[in-house]
Structure 1
Amino acid sequence: MSDGIGARPLLAGEKPDGDLEFPFRFPLRKAIRSFDEEKTEIVLEEPTADHAVKYGLLTRGLTDETAAALIADLTKVPEASIKRMALSDMIRLTTILSRFLSQAAR
């Protein structure tokens, strides 16, 4: 099944309407190092109202300035490691998170 937009196959835990099942496992195309461990996937916990307030998700949405920090908070992976993700992984993940946040507002 695809997301209907760019015919990108949906990941496990990702629904066509943008909703996600948590914990959400995101496979990385390129591994990152975190705490001297190579990670080929990161696991995101469900965002809470605290995350929405802390990162301005209610007023600004997911921005370039907050994306890495939010992902680090949801995965417990250091922000420095998140910032070393391959650009394609960051774009895919922020697109998925943006769709989730948009559908949550409906």
Structure 2
Amino acid sequence: MARLDTHPAAAPGQPLPSPDVAGVELIVGARRVTPQAVRAVAGGIEVELRGPALLAVLDASFQGQDSIEVLGGRWHRHRAQVSAISMQGASSRVLLTCAERCQPLN
């Protein structure tokens, strides 16, 4: 998996702010999940998740009962699927590739 880009103005290990990922949250089934960090990559996003947020995404990915959708940023209202997982210490990085745009709710 690609390494996390940093900037001298950002804290070590923190991604650069980007309009592509500003304010990104995930909707996993009926849960709202806020990643610890988000980074734009080709075709989707890489998110850093911990604890219950990571479990929700893993359950949705492997059990297939819940969908994963992106809110905010370039991929607003797009479905996503887990393409790769990199577990490191207390947190994990999950690569989400974004697919079709979700239908708006009334």
Same fold (TM over 0.5): no
What is the TM-score with the length of structure 2 in the denominator?
Answer: 0.28
More helix by share: 1
What is the TM-score with the length of structure 1 in the denominator?
Answer: 0.28
